Amino acid sequence: MEGECECSREFFLFILAGLVEIGGGYLIWLWLREGVSFCYGIMGSLILVLYGIIPTLQDFPYFGRVYAAYGGVFIILAVFWGWAIDKKIPDFYDGLGALISPIGVSVMLWGPRT
């Protein structure tokens, strides 16, 4: 039961980090590319600072491994963000890439090591 709880916490932190990074980046995108208020850029920047903090809450000991594994989670979240927020329907290759990425994440985080 304890391992289950820890895995849920790790998963939650990966999802939270992804949503914060994409959300902050999206606000800056809106400011610079879509011409919305400068306040969007400020808010996006502050949210991205939060993104820099969230991965440090992971229990995995290596920075590179956490960020590389997070990248796989980010791929999935970015595809869903584009679909839900930008209303851009993912094509076959978007879906295929999103399906493949959890395999890489799993290998990096839980592969047997000596």
| DSSP annotation string for 44-67 | HHHHHHHHHHGGGGSS-S-HHHHH
Q: What are the mean pLDDT values of the chain's consecutive 10-residue runs (114 residues total)?
A: 67 92 96 97 97 90 84 91 92 94 85 84
End-to-end CA distance of the chain: 25
Q: What is the pLDDT of residue 109?
A: 79
In angstroms, the CA 41 to CA 51 distance is 15
In angstroms, the CA 39 to CA 108 distance is 38
Q: What is the pLDDT of residue 6?
A: 64
Q: What is the pLDDT of residue 46?
A: 97
Q: What is the pLDDT of residue 23?
A: 96
DSSP character for 111?
S
Range of the domain at 71: 2-110
Q: What is the pLDDT of residue 5?
A: 61
pTM above 0.85, yes or no: no
Q: What is the pLDDT of residue 37?
A: 98
Report the number of distinct structural domains present in the chain.
Answer: 1
